[in-house]
Structure 1
Amino acid sequence: MTTIASFSAVELGKLYADRELSPVEVAKDALDRIERFEPDINAFVVRDAEITLNMAEASQARWLKGAPLGPLDGVPVTIKDNIGVAGWPMRRGSALASSAPWPEDSPATARLREAGTVFLGKTTMPEYGWKGVGDSPLSGITRNPWDIATGPGGSSSGAAACAALNLGCIHIGTDGAGSVRIPAAFTGVVGLKPSYGRVPAYPVSTMGFLAHLGPLTRTVTDTALAMNTIGRPDNRDMTAMIDEPPDYVAALAGGVKGLRMAWSPRLGGDVTVDPEIAALTRAAAMAFRDLGATVEEVDPGFDDPIETLMTIWSSGAALALRSASAADRERMDPGLVAVAEQGERIPASGYVDALLNQRNALAHHMAQFHARFDLLLTPTLPLPAFAVSRNTPGHGAYGEDWTRWTPFTYPFNITQAPAISLPCGLTAAGLPAGLQLVGAFGRDALVLRAAAAFENLRPFARVDAPVKTV
């Protein structure tokens, strides 16, 4: 049976135009399902039904007049807690942060408001987005709808959980080391990290040039539609692209026939990959051959850039916590405090070397690689979702450092290249696997076009309500 919860953003726009459905009906349905599912998934830090319904009523009036603001008018969305929404607090997952209303919309929020979208709330994240799982001192534990005993990944934790259940069609997250793609893979949704600067950021992240903004959705077309809106310029971000984005939806057509793709199951490193994930992602990569692409197994040929990442990452954490007292730090995530203390010991010369020289060397290497291959294919993650309340799986294969199980994501924050995670099947336990597609810098439209071709060939599995396995 077709339900409101099954519709994509693209489908909602058509239904609104034909007056078969209204933004108010959609908003009420989303609010009802949030009320029903939130006790199980804990995906929101801010909700305000009155604001949501007021935005939906304003959208409905525009549609009735035949004057919508665009194709996203009336589409419900969520926004991560480290992105500004005027009138709502921005606490970045920290219980110590101010609960005062934020004074202005960040660029992505402003573009969504201008497009007439309906805000459902702000979503959960780990404290300051420092890790790839979904718990924080502020909001507690966010859970994975595919199995609520497992986590959705992070740091765009609540955004991914909402996307999986279609609690809103578009969910804006951030990605500094995989924080859009990690939860997308764990929850079976589409997660795009665009080329750096394509989506303007303000305030600027303490993670600097690592931090990207991008959407999580259930479909590639909805991702492209979101990018048409949030990818527009904003002069508050001096590093953002100043040109208008291409029409990413129109660019989805064309397929992948003739494209050259490299499949790298371990990025050339010593990575422990779960056998089921290895099989699912390999089969997904080879499916591009059925679409007319050339797929060759080849590694990109770089050493693990974890030291480059952590030099920048820990320095950013140190900056974020620079004014936190000893008493404050006692109330924070101890892992975040440890990373910040590591950053405090990094000399300025080491930080600048990582930020400029080491990043540039890896970016140059990948530019040469993409001269040979249009796209690089990898697993998004080497494992399925694991138990909540842990930074690493209990079996110990990845040690105690969460970055050990994210080796496929963070290299492409360093290079600033576009990368997308696509659902590519389920394990025997019913948990999603993710395939990552990486393009050359600025080739976001190509990444999305290939993603759309894959989705058409292998439609994604859905979950409609939180699954309780125990």
Structure 2
Amino acid sequence: MNDFVGMTALELLRGYRAKTFSPVEVAEELLNQIERLNRHVNAFCLVDRETSLAYARESERRYMFDAAKGLLDGVPVAVKDVFYTPMWPTVFGSQVIDPETTLGCAAPCIAALQRHGYIPIGKTTLPEFGWKAVTDNAIDGITRNPWDRDRTPGGSSGGAAVAISLGLSPLAVGADGGGSIRIPASFCGVVGFKPSFGQVPHWPLGTFSSLMHVGPLASTVEDCALMMNVISEPDYRDIRGIPRRKFDFLAAIGGRQVAGIKKLRIAYSPSLGYANPDPIVERSVSDSVMLFQELGADVVAVDPDIDDPSAAFGCLFCAGIASILRAMDSTRRQLVEPQLLEVAEQADKISLPDYLDVLKWRDNFVERLQLFFLKYDLLVTPTLPITAFAAGVNVPENNPGSMWYSWTPYTYPFNLSGHPAISLNCGFSKSGLPIGLQIVGRKYADEIVLCAAAALQSRQGLKVGLPDWVKTV
């Protein structure tokens, strides 16, 4: 195994500039690793060696002539199969999408990555239309957790998180409509960042547009910040995007993490007032929160003044599912995952006045969180109340609800509110499964969230490495 596997994006860029190695060497090694490991975990649904190497050769030529392009020239990026890529089809893990209709178009984040010289290393697996928090679909099968292949990596950006965890790509781009970046980041032991709503442009908007955030996954917070510098560039197609500011997220956290932490007021809430985390999860997160105190932050144990928003979120989310399926004829609907049809049928019973009441409730919910963040700079919670459960099922054993948001109480509230949130690893269970910690910040103060996460990751000094089975297959 070459040293390129598991290298960060920043390390690769330093090597390219010094001409220690080339983008072609890196791409070839990662593609070899994908070929060797992907059949065991199903992280990638599309790998096109010829195209990836063509991008790598173009990057190599630029470095030969000291003409590097943008901020990510030669860095491989894994792309979740919800983002239009001009050279590859985008089918959303569904049998109902005609692949030919999706070619020739680049989503905003992909267009930005192209401007900065990335290498597309492949497209990553997701559940059909990204509708649930585990990763499996009728086309690609089940995606598996690299730390225990009998367990789920979470979802819906499950393939992306697995790719990062195994070092198959230093960067991945994911989408998060209720936790879809942070959930698999937690289960796989990597970093996943959901920026403030509108911070990263997204198109086409779709039926979940008021909940959807685009963001990076990586092994380090610094790499996430680097990628934010690229994908947060403006794109006129996103009509919900916030006014852009020219901001260097990486510079904001570079060398200033500890100094920045000393000024922060941090609220720690292990339950948000309504969740019940597993004791081993709560203990691991609580131990990590104490590190913030050691870094000089003022940490207070307090719950935000909010009610459980699952009913409101469920209404908006399920109505979005119904909208997707309503446009399909009966033949295409027969190809859709059965539970998706059940969700749509239930959502069709929501009345317009009830839907408007939910929107009003959401406004009040966001206002209460905004008031909370006038008192505190950050809120720390577990990312999930549990560690990874069995692969191939949608909810854990003995779970009280049938929908995915019944076991993800810490993630979807901040899709309703639009606040930035990051998940990073804070330890492992006795059975060797990763545990995630979530940091939430004020709206549009994304750099403070990244700064705190970088400081914590540095202070923890966790060396995650690769699972043992990787060496034997």
> Match of 2:273?
268
Q: Secondary structure at the match of 1:210?
A: coil
> Match of 1:77?
77
The alpha-carbon deviation at position 275 of structure 1 amounts to 1.7
Task: State whether structure 2 residue 391 is matched by structure 1 residue 388.
Answer: yes
**Retained in 2: the 8 A contact 1:392–1:398?**
no
> Match of 1:339?
343
Distance 1:401 1:110 in 2: 34
> Match of 2:134?
133
> Match of 1:23?
23
Structure 1 stretch 332-341 or stretch 289-298: which is displaced more?
332-341
Cα 1:441–1:354 change in 2 (3 A) is same
**Retained in 1: the 8 A contact 2:6–2:166?**
no
The aligned runs of 1:272-351 (5 Å cut-off) are 272-351=276-355
The alpha-carbon deviation at position 18 of structure 1 amounts to 0.4
The alpha-carbon deviation at position 398 of structure 1 amounts to 4.0
> Match of 1:442?
444
> Match of 1:407?
409
How high is the sequence identity, in percent, across the aligned residues? Answer: 42
Distance 1:119 1:244 in 2: 27
Distance 2:235 2:413 in 1: 27
The aligned runs of 1:137-286 (5 Å cut-off) are 137-252=138-253, 253-255=256-258, 256-269=261-274, 271-286=275-290
**Retained in 1: the 8 A contact 2:80–2:123?**
yes
Spell out, residue by residue over 1:378-413, the C-alpha distance to the aligned partner (whole angstroms, 9 max, x if none).
00000000110111112x044433211100000000
**Retained in 1: the 8 A contact 2:257–2:454?**
no
Q: Secondary structure at the match of 2:436?
A: strand
The alpha-carbon deviation at position 465 of structure 1 amounts to 4.9
Distance 1:340 1:103 in 2: 31
Distance 1:232 1:373 in 2: 29
Distance 2:240 2:353 in 1: 22
The alpha-carbon deviation at position 250 of structure 1 amounts to 0.7
Gaps of 5+ in 2: none
Task: State whether structure 2 residue 9 is matched by structure 1 residue 4.
Answer: no
Distance 1:37 1:457 in 2: 31
**Retained in 2: the 8 A contact 1:233–1:241?**
no
Task: State whether structure 2 residue 88 is matched by structure 1 residue 88.
Answer: yes
What is the letter of the counterpart of residue 363 of structure 1? V
The alpha-carbon deviation at position 146 of structure 1 amounts to 1.0
Cα 1:34–1:2 change in 2 (3 A) is closer
Distance 1:84 1:238 in 2: 18
Spell out, residue by residue over 1:178-216, the C-alpha distance to the aligned partner (whole angstroms, 9 max, x if none).
000000000000000000111101111311210110111
The alpha-carbon deviation at position 170 of structure 1 amounts to 1.1
> Structure 1: which 4+ aligned runs deviate by more than 6 Å?
none
Structure 1 stretch 372-381 or stretch 133-142: which is displaced more?
133-142
Distance 1:425 1:150 in 2: 18
**Retained in 2: the 8 A contact 1:146–1:463?**
no
> Match of 2:368?
365
What is the letter of the counterpart of residue 30 of structure 1? L
Gaps of 5+ in 1: none
The TM-score normalised by the length of structure 2 is 0.96
* Alignment root-mean-square deviation, CA: 1.6
**Retained in 2: the 8 A contact 1:112–1:230?**
yes
Q: Secondary structure at the match of 2:121?
A: strand
